Amino acid sequence: MIRTLALSLVLAAPAFAVTVGQPAPAFTATDSNGKVHRLADFKGKPVVLEWTNSGCPFVKKHYGAGNMQETQAAATKAGAVWLTVNSGAPGKQGHVDAKGANAEVAANKAKPTAYLLDPTGAIGRAYDAKTTPHIYVIDAKGNLAYQGAIDDKPTADPADIKGATNLALAALNDVKAGKPVKVATSKPYGCAVKYG
């Protein structure tokens, strides 16, 4: 019995520990248009990873109000790469195939650089992505600079966006300025990532 319990605890732990200031876990993924992306391809540019699930009320809050799209546009205008990641497993709420992902991007008028499909959850587990949304900012050297919530108002109410501090953009601005990120970690909020 003790041996079984120990094994289950090991299996429940993330495959990799993600630590701000350390190299971000490498990955290779196919986007919704069939293009393969590697994190290494973007070295020299900041990268933002955004975990998503269109059925999640917290994701709906940010997309329905236009906040996520505005954040994506501001990030890419500043020279960052924005990768939306869906780690929902087939058969789980929020999972989409390539056609579904492109339909979401079009319906939301979203502005990511690419929408990455992660149906096995390999990328999500490597980053220990817990919620949708969950945001990671990687600096131009490939080190993790921020991980956590998009903002400091952990609710599903779109009215709270107006008074919130956008932690993702604040981190990206610090990275672009070559300064230490003031708030390098925060508690992500939203729906649990629906791994298989």
**156-165: long-range contacts, CB 8 A cutoff, minimum separation 24:** 156/57, 156/58, 156/60, 156/61, 157/61, 158/61, 158/64, 158/65, 158/67, 161/61, 161/62, 161/65, 161/67
For 70-121, write each residue's pLDDT tens digit: 999 999 999 999 999 999 999 999 999 999 999 999 999 999 999 999 999 9
pLDDT 10s digits, 132-172 = 999 999 999 999 999 999 999 999 999 999 999 999 999 99
The C-alpha atoms of residue 151 and residue 170 are separated, in whole angstroms, by 9
pTM above 0.85, yes or no: yes
Percentage of the chain modeled with pLDDT above 70: 91
- What the chain holds in terms of domains, given with CATH numbers, is 16-192 (3.40.30.10)
Contacts of residues 157-163 at CB distance under 8 Å and 24 or more positions apart, as own/partner, are 157/61, 158/61, 158/64, 158/65, 158/67, 161/61, 161/62, 161/65, 161/67
